[in-house]
Structure 1
Amino acid sequence: MSGRPREGGTPSVRSVVIDGPGEHRLATGPQPQPGPGEVRVAVHAAGICASDREVYDGTRAEGYVRYPVTPGHEWAGTVEAVGEGTVLLGPGGTPTELLGRKVVAEGFRACLRCERCREGATSLCMSGYEETGFTRPGAFADSLVLPARLLHLLPDDADLRAAALLEPAAVVAAAVLAAEPRAGERVAVLGTGTLGLLAVQLLAAHSPAELLAVDPRAQRAEQALTMGATHARTPGSADGPDGTGTGTEGFDLVVETAGAATTAHDACKLARRGGRVVLTGMFEPGARGIDPVHLSVSQLTVRSVFGAPSAAWSYAVRAFGTGLLDPAPLITHELPLTAFGEAIGLVGGGDPAVGKVLLRP
């Protein structure tokens, strides 16, 4: 619940606070009030990802976290308070009732004034990096206050557990929009973590002739077969008609989602001459680079994705609302807010049985 009585009847809320690398606490304070143009959302569920682990470990790149911080950038909830004069227009251009609506929201706090924002590339905002859960308070809390302009409304019957994964789904949607998949193409996805399995679902909706999922964890690779992949294998397994591979011909489109040391390089090697590669994983320093000779001779088109602009969020929310995207099977663990330490330990622990971990306030 988002409001808990304090002494004297004043509502209070809990939040996980990371004061610095390896230091976290459960804080209790007064319930935040939304200002003009803002809403307060009761958090139903919030997902933990590798980026949150980076915040906890202190390995996130400089400038992309500000301590102390309440993390939590993957979440879904219900609007429980609306600030004065706050209006969000519905599909017909008329004001929409926000109170009680199920919602998710964009994380980037784009300025909407710079050249990049004005051309629609809000994830490339030139005013500096600001994001919910990294430099602004996030959703590992009972409630969250944020600008209403960032909201995306969900159907009244939406599963808020599954909707908590719409943030990574929006990142994948940005990759798919950049990739421009075409029916009948041969497509490969490198990595079958959260991003990879969501990518498989969205790419399967474009009717590829073949959709390969590659992951060193055989169990995770095979999970992609239940989500639309036609083949699954581990890196280096033999190609051929026995089901472990797909032949020697390159792929029209390769979507990289793992961010491992070699996967950018491997994705380009997997693409056919003249093929397309989209990189969505977050690479650490020292990752193997792309061979510029191979890039030039093969005439590859390589795109990268960091976060998601508004158009990608809208795409992901529509796919979720129509049933083309179902993140629920990716959830393997749900823990209370008080178990943050246990939850962050599960993420990045290397156990292939651990999928998406949710915190439930």
Structure 2
Amino acid sequence: MNLLRIHAVYLVVLTLTSCYNQASDTPDAWNLTDQQIDSISFSTTHHYSQNYNFIVKGDSIVLICQRPNETAYDSITIYHNNRIVVADILTLPEDTTDSVWVKVARDQTTQGWVHEKELLKNVEPDDPISQFISTFSDVHLLIFLALLVITCAIYGLVKLSKRNAHIVHFNDIDSFYPTLLALNIAFSATLYASIQMFGADSWRHFYYHPSLNPFTLPPHLGLFITSVWSMIIILIAVIDELRRILTFGDAILYLSGLAATCAVNYVVFSITTLYYIGYILFIAYCIFAIHRYLHNSHSTYLCGRCGAKLMRKGKCPQCGTINE
């Protein structure tokens, strides 16, 4: 018993005993050179720094082999799809064209200097997410896509309506998931355009350092990435509902109409929000979509024979029984 008490006292003494470590002063802990401080400052404002990887998306970029402040110049050219790395950054305040020069290298023998503005308009980050963003942020592509999508969607929806096929918002199935998917895409497009207008710098940083984890991003970007993930989840739920409700052929037709509706939502809301009209349209669209589902798509009857859901009285599509 005494031995047990001795051990207990010994454990208490060990618990209350600690070593003191003299912490370093903050200036010593952050003993950085001027070059390192400049690099951190540049990375904060420009969102890239040395050793950052780009891929050439333009036809070509002409590089100057010598430093920009030297008099004699030799040049070398890098071409489309070449992968390059930032080797050095130089600031020349006296340069009236562009004070920032960037040295990039394709390999040990192919490297040189170029103005930052010239570089950035011809490259994109060597990351698939960034390249996807770059493609869908292209203005000319967006305008072309808008015209193409709206034309095809109108044609497709008219053809489907003539066949009396199921179409989201009009002759919808008894499931809220398709309406929710259309609303989610409209919300995501509106949020995307809003970030472009009011959080351009944070979006630019995300463009250079993308992540699909919403919990590691600022709240507005995390909300956008969450909405993107929710599209996939809701789409899976839509497909599962269609498998249960419609035949395979009707399900393919319905998915085609839903895809056209979602494409129109993306184009319309991502463009109109840039002119502030999108916010009013989004509220109106939410009211319209929910109203259409509650009054036209929601089943209110059950077949008296097989128990299948019916939107209106009449012939049951499952067993053929007339319900009055």
With normalisation by structure 1, the TM-score equals 0.20
Larger fraction in helix? 2
Larger fraction in strand? 1
With normalisation by structure 2, the TM-score equals 0.22
Higher relative contact order (CA 8 A, sep 6+): 1
